[in-house]
């Protein structure tokens, strides 16, 4: 029991001391041995198998409990304690190689109190110092050795003294210069990372090949760097980011100047760095990095603080395990272990059915998380997620967290498999099941009414002027419309009864609905919002079947140019669910059945696929119609099947992609010249 009156800060210090003291008292010798076994198991999975079975936060917490115990019970210290070695274990698949100078790990701090404590220790060694701060990249450490300006060795950190010789793999990393201007022998240390977008591509490819996916970019980087086949490493687009030097003869007095010189040799700079004079400035750049962490191309897990004066670094030296002049200021945890309590289904406005995991409430970086996205049922099957499973969830920024790993070794038999649904949880209609995609196609499903009406009224469809999102939501909320069909039962009297609907506005809406009647039939098909059926496919269906498209068979639909089996299945399932609605709308709107077009005369664009981009002398819609009359197919995206890219001013990414694929690119003028 504490006696007296304390300030909030003093009470916080007392409680932290008590918590720390309680931890020491509660860990006995057997607990200590069990903790060592658990840490070594975690370490084996992380460093050797590249298959983490816990989060950094759980590991760090247990590790620091072991450190506390060993400090108070030095005679109990075990030789296999993870505190007695630095880094990971050398794989037997590579030749072992010694570093010229030791690669040290860093002491961790987690908050401003930890920073203050470290600064007090550091200032006791030297008061006249500043601090160099840079991101702590979350990847795999690498040591590069250059002699006479040539890269001669690339070595993983290993145990800090001896690593794995992976020079051939390192040479495939484009951000590692093969030669540099500095001719003396030098060790350049850094982190090998995989950028987030590249990580997504790698996992997508592995998924397609039925291979196990990587849990996170850090493990992907480590696994890619240590491939026996260097061509696999080359395919992974690894990035090397230097953070320091080992043996060297450089004469810079400040680390910040030395690193600036290293960058000038052709190495990639970090996204942020700063030289700080005191704790306030250190906290400022730390908070900036925490704020920016989700916008970086690579993963970060903290900020490294080093004394900037190199002479002071030398004087301060090292403990048995870590340098006294540097520390890692870790970011708040974004990975946590929790339990899957339930899986619920959400139906989006497009009808897509998405499973969402309800998890045990878990605090991640100050936010209590109770839900995690699962994307689709293929992901549930791939990761083998079950009810009552213990899982690792990752939260990044403000987006909904996601499950990145199932801890199958924690299962106790109470887990329940998740059954794939066949009907919509909102309206009970049959779901379109395409493996990855589950979709409710019922136009009258309450979950998708507003969005289906918005699409129905959009410019490429029936172009109903005045039917914006706010008006549609107001009509739906009031109960005046429950489906697309209800739009045409609206009257002036009904609209005027709603708040905010004046006579002119209401009459304009009714006139727009009336004007939608008699549209081209392809617009009618397009307005239905059939999955995978856009403007081009709608025109194809209209031209081939006219009003009879609702009775077309799968074989007949597949026989149409540009329509595959997946598109045909989508049409058939949509018609099954919405046959009555389609019939009603067709009776109301009386769309114009297409007249068979005369076959276009021979010309350079007949039977070809073209893409339009940039600003032209006429609207792209007009030019598109002209090309279609010439027998061309006009697509919205560039692919290997594209024959021509036709561009105007300010052509952007489509032009770049076309050039990279070798697609013939024509200006508008060149296109017209081909027709003369």
Asked whether residue 127 is assigned to any structural domain, the reply reads yes
Query: What is the domain-level CATH number for residue 585?
Result: 1.10.150.20
pLDDT digits (tens, 9 = 90+) for 105-125: 999 998 899 999 999 999 999
Would you say 303 and 136 are in contact if contact means Cβ atoms under 8 Å apart? yes
For residue 189, what pLDDT band results from cuts at 50, 70 and 90?
A: very high
Phi, then psi, of 245 in degrees rounded to 5 = -130, 150
Question: Are 41 and 121 in the same domain?
Answer: no
Domain end (from 280, 303, 330): 330
For residue 294, tell me if it sits in a domain: yes
Find the Cα–Cα–Cα–Cα dihedral 610, 615, 616, 618, rounded to 10°: 100
For residues 236 and 173, is the Cβ–Cβ distance under 8 A?
A: no
In the chain, what percentage of residues exceed pLDDT 70? 92
Q: Residue 77 pLDDT > 70, yes or no? A: yes
Q: Is the pLDDT of residue 24 over 60?
A: no
CATH number, domain containing residue 24: 1.10.287.610
Average pLDDT (446-473) is 86
Residues 182, 131 share a domain = yes
Dump pLDDT digits (tens) for 273-318: 999 999 999 999 999 999 888 888 888 889 999 999 999 999 999 9
Over range 406-429, report the average pLDDT.
Answer: 92
Last residue of a domain, one of 307, 330, 353: 330
Task: Give the integer Cα–Cα distance in Å for 100 and 576.
Answer: 72
Is 440 part of a structural domain of the chain? no
Whole-angstrom distance, CA of residue 223 vs CA of residue 212: 12
pLDDT at 4 over 70: no
Same-domain status, 204 and 322:
yes
Q: Are residues 583 and 615 in the same domain?
A: no
Residues 480 and 366 in one domain: no
Whole-number CA gyration radius for the chain: 32
Give the pLDDT of residue 2. Answer: 40
Q: Tell me whether residue 153 is one of the annotated catalytic residues.
A: no
pLDDT of 83 strictly over 50: yes
Share of residues in the chain with pLDDT > 90 (%)? 41
* pLDDT for 326: 96
How far is it, in rounded angstroms, from Cα 659 to Cα 670? Answer: 16
| pLDDT value for 9 | 54
Closest CA to 401 of 390, 410, 393, 411: 393
Is 559 inside any structural domain? yes
Least confident residue range of 17-21, 251-255, 377-381, 424-428: 17-21
Same domain, 169 and 49: no
Counting the structural domains of the chain, the total is 5
Residue 462 near residue 519, CB atoms below 8 Å: yes
* Cα–Cα distance measured from residue 551 to residue 509, given in angstroms and rounded to the nearest whole number: 33
Tell me, yes or no, whether 146 and 278 share the same domain: yes
Q: In the structure, what pLDDT confidence band is assigned to residue 337 with cuts at 50, 70 and 90?
A: very high
Residues 166 and 235 in one domain: yes
Q: Which residue has the tokens 């990752």?
A: 394
The active-site residue, picked from 117, 136, 287, 504, is: 136
Token pair recorded at residue 645: 């890219």
- Which CATH number covers residue 668? 3.40.50.10190
Same domain, 326 and 240: yes
Average pLDDT estimate for 577-604: 86
pLDDT of residue 16: 55
Tell me whether residue 522 is in a domain.
yes
pLDDT(257) > 90: yes
Q: Which residue has the higher pLDDT, 394 or 17?
A: 394
Average pLDDT, integer, range 50-73: 86
pTM above 0.75, yes or no: no
What rounded mean pLDDT belongs to the chain? 86
Q: How confident is the model at residue 222 (pLDDT cuts 50, 70, 90)?
A: confident
Smallest CA-to-CA distance from 81 within 23, 37, 27 is with 37
Q: Is residue 158 part of a domain?
A: yes
Q: Quick one: the chain helix, strand, coil %, rounded to 5?
A: 40, 20, 40
The reported pLDDT for the residue numbered 57 is: 82
pLDDT score of 509 more than 80: yes
Domain closes at, from 300, 330, 360: 330
Confidence category of residue 347, pLDDT binned at 50, 70, 90: confident
Q: Among 16-20, 53-57, 79-83, 254-258, where is mean pLDDT lowest?
A: 16-20
> How far, in Å, CA of 52 to CA of 222, rounded?
12
Alpha-carbon distance 4 to 314, whole Å? Answer: 46
What digits encode the pLDDT tens for the residues 118-148? Answer: 999 999 999 999 999 999 998 999 999 999 9
pLDDT at 240: 94
C-alpha–C-alpha distance, residues 87 and 161, integer Å: 9
Q: Which long-range contacts (CB under 8 A, 24 or more apart) does 620-627 make?
A: 623/668
* Longest CA–CA separation in the chain, Å: 98
- CATH number, residue 365: 2.40.50.140
**Residue 161 pLDDT greater than 70, yes or no:** yes
Pair (468, 563) in one structural domain: yes
List pLDDT tens digits, range 631-645: 888 887 788 889 999
For residue 563, is pLDDT > 50? Answer: yes
Looking at the predicted structure, is the pLDDT value of residue 198 above 50? yes
36 in the same domain as 125: no
Whether residue 602 is contained in a domain is answered as no
Q: How confident is the model at residue 13 (pLDDT cuts 50, 70, 90)?
A: low
The whole domain housing 641 covers 609-674
Does residue 19 lie within any of the structural domains?
yes
Whether pLDDT at 394 is above 70: yes
Same domain, 214 and 269: yes
What CATH number is given to the structural domain containing 187? 3.30.470.30
Conformation bin of residue 629: beta by default, left when phi > 0, alpha when psi is -120 to 50: alpha
Is a pLDDT exceeding 90 seen at residue 437?
no
């Amino acid at each position: 029991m504490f006696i007296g009156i304390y300030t909030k800060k003093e009470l916080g210090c007392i409680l932290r001391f008590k918590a720390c003291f309680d931890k020491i008292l509660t860990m006995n010798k057997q607990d200590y041995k069990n903790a060592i076994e658990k840490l070594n198991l975690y370490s084996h999975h992380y460093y050797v198998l590249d298959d983490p079975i816990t989060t950094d936060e759980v590991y760090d917490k247990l590790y620091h409990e072991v450190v506390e115990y060993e400090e108070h019970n030095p005679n109990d210290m075990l030789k296999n304690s993870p505190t007695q070695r630095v880094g990971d274990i050398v794989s037997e698949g590579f030749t072992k190689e010694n570093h010229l100078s030791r690669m040290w790990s860093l002491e961790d701090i987690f908050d401003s109190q930890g920073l203050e404590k470290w600064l007090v220790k550091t200032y006791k060694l030297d008061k006249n110092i500043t601090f160099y701060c840079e991101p702590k990249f979350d990847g795999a450490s690498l040591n590069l050795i250059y002699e006479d300006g040539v890269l001669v060795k690339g070595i993983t950190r290993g145990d800090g003294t001896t690593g794995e010789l992976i020079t051939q793999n390192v040479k495939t990393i484009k951000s590692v210069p093969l030669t540099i201007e500095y001719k003396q022998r030098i060790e350049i240390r850094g982190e090998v990372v995989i950028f987030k977008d590249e990580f997504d591509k790698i996992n997508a490819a592995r998924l397609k090949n039925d291979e196990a996916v990587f849990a996170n970019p850090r493990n992907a980087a480590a696994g890619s760097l240590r491939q026996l086949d260097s061509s696999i490493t080359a395919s992974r687009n690894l990035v090397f980011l230097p953070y320091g030097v080992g043996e060297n003869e450089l004469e810079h007095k400040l680390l910040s100047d030395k690193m600036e010189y290293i960058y000038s040799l052709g190495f990639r700079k970090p996204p942020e760095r700063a030289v700080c004079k005191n704790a306030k400035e250190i906290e400022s750049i730390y908070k900036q990095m925490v704020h920016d962490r989700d916008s970086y191309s690579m993963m970060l897990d903290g900020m490294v603080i080093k004394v900037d004066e190199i002479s002071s670094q030398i004087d301060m030296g090292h403990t048995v395990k870590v340098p006294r002049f540097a520390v890692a200021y870790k970011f708040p945890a974004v990975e946590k272990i929790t339990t899957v309590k339930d899986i619920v289904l959400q139906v989006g406005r497009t009808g897509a059915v998405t499973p969402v995991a309800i998890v045990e409430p878990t605090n991640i970086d100050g936010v209590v998380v109770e839900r995690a996205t699962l994307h689709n049922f293929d992901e549930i099957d791939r990761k083998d997620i079950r009810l009552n499973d213990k899982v690792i969830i990752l939260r990044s920024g403000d987006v909904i967290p996601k499950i990145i790993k199932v801890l199958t070794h924690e299962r106790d038999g109470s887990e329940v498999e998740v059954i794939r649904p066949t009907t919509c949880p909102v309206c009970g209609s049959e779901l379109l099941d395409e493996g990855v995609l589950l979709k409710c196609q019922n136009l009258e499903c309450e979950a998708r009414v507003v969005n289906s009406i918005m699409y129905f009224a959009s410019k490429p469809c029936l172009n109903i002027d005045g039917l914006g999102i706010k008006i549609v939501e107001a009509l739906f909320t009031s109960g005046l419309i429950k489906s697309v069909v209800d739009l045409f039962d609206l009257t002036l009297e009904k609209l005027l009864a709603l708040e905010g609907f004046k006579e002119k506005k209401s009459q304009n809406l009714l006139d727009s609905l009336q004007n939608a009647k008699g549209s081209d039939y392809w617009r009618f098909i397009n307005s239905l919002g059939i999955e995978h059926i856009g403007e081009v496919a709608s025109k194809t269906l209209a031209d081939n079947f006219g009003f009879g498209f609702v009775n077309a068979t799968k074989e007949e639909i597949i026989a149409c140019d540009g329509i595959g089996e997946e598109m045909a299945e989508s049409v058939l399932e949509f018609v099954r669910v919405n046959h009555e609605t389609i019939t009603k709308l067709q009776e109301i709107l009386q769309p114009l059945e297409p007249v068979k077009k005369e076959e276009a005369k021979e010309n350079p664009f007949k039977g070809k696929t073209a893409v339009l981009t940039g600003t032209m002398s006429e609207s792209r819609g007009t030019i598109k119609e002209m090309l279609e009359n010439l027998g061309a197919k006009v697509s919205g995206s560039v692919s290997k099947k594209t024959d021509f890219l036709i561009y105007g001013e300010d052509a952007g990414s489509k032009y770049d992609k076309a050039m990279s694929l070798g697609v013939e690119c024509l200006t508008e003028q060149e296109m017209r010249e081909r027709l003369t």
